[in-house]
Amino acid sequence: MAVSLSKGGNVSLTKEAPGLTAIDVGLGWDARVTDGSAFDLDASAFLLNEGGKVRSDADFIFYNNKTSADGSIVHQGDNQTGSGDGDDEVVSINLSNVPADVLKVAFSVTIHEAEARKQNFGQVANAYIRVVNKADGKEIARYDLSEDYSTETAMIFGEIYRNGGEWKFKAIGQGFADGLGPLAKNFGVNIG
């Protein structure tokens, strides 16, 4: 039985799934059923050091940079409409290969061309983040954001982080008003 988190809540992935070595972080939302521009949501991951910043721009994993330098984190690709069953975007992480100086991986979702399309998370239904054990496909933890957003266009959905010898997952649900750029800058990425 997966742990369902609310905003700010956390769970030990290592305790929930002993022997855990690799996870899929799935992000999902409902495709737009009304007329108008589709909701194209993009998932990104940030590999963060002790200071909560990326070590270099290469630690910003997104649709134009799908694999981390060490190969431990792989973005599985962009779903541009939110249609289809299951997760809309997946980031795979081989926990045992994550470099030791990476203490945290934050997962964000941004709305592509939010301003031009006049879209925000308050218009997107049933957004969630979940962590799945790659070994058996079982869901370990889930966070449904539903009400924890409104007019934001970029959100940090959740993060995994080291806590002693274990990996934990925390539900964040923090919004940024101006999209992926400011959010990435917040983590120390140089946005040109």
Partner 1 sequence: MAVVVLTPGANVGIPECSRILVAVGWEPKSVAGMEIDASVFMVKADGKVPDDGYFVFYGAQSSPDGSVRFLPSPPTGFASDVQAFEVEPGKVSADVESIDVCVTLHEGQVRGQSFGSLTGVFARLVDPSSGHEVARFDLPVAGMKETAITLAKVYRRNGQWKIRAVGQGFVGGLAPLARQYGVDVADDASTPPPVQEKPAPPPPPPAPKPVSLTKVTLEKRGQSVSLEKKAGEGFGEIVFNLNWNQRPEKKGGFLGRILGGNKGIDLDLGCLWELEDGDKGVIQALGEAWGEYRSEPFIRHAGDDRTGAIAQGENIRINGDKLSKIKRILVFAFIYEGVPNWAAADGVATVKVPGQHDIEVRLDNPASGQGMCAIALIENDKGKLKVTKEEQYFRGHLDMDKAYRWGLRWVAGSKN
- Distance in Å, CB of 75 to partner 1, minimum: 26
Strand partners, 82: none
Nearer to partner 1, 14 or 119 (CB): 119
The answer to whether 8 contacts partner 1 (rule: CB under 8 A) is no
x-or-dash string of contact with partner 1, 139-158, rule CB under 8 A? --------x--xx-------
Close Cβ partners of 164 (under 8 Å, ≥ 6 residues apart):
none
- Distance in Å, CB of 173 to partner 1, minimum: 14
The answer to whether 110 contacts partner 1 (rule: CB under 8 A) is no
The answer to whether 37 contacts partner 1 (rule: CB under 8 A) is no
Residues 120, 128, 160, 179: which binds partner 1 (CB under 8 A)?
120
The answer to whether 123 contacts partner 1 (rule: CB under 8 A) is yes
Contact present, 124 and 117 (Cβ < 8 Å): no
The answer to whether 57 contacts partner 1 (rule: CB under 8 A) is no
The answer to whether 96 contacts partner 1 (rule: CB under 8 A) is no
Nearer to partner 1, 10 or 119 (CB): 119
The answer to whether 32 contacts partner 1 (rule: CB under 8 A) is yes
The answer to whether 33 contacts partner 1 (rule: CB under 8 A) is yes
The answer to whether 60 contacts partner 1 (rule: CB under 8 A) is no
SS (H, E, C) the chain: CCEEECCCCEEEHHHHCCCCCEEEEEEECCCCCCCCCCCCEEEEEEEECCCCCCCCHHHEEECCECECCCCCEEECCCCCCCCCCCCCEEEEEEHHHCCCCCCEEEEEEEECCHHHHCCCHHHCCCCEEEEEECCCCCEEEEEECCCCCCCCCEEEEEEEEEECCEEEEEEEEEEECCCHHHHHHHCCCCCC
Contact present, 44 and 61 (Cβ < 8 Å): yes
Nearer to partner 1, 68 or 120 (CB): 120
The answer to whether 35 contacts partner 1 (rule: CB under 8 A) is yes
Kindly list the residues in this chain that would bind partner 1 in the complex (CB under 8 A).
32-36, 118-123, 147, 150-151
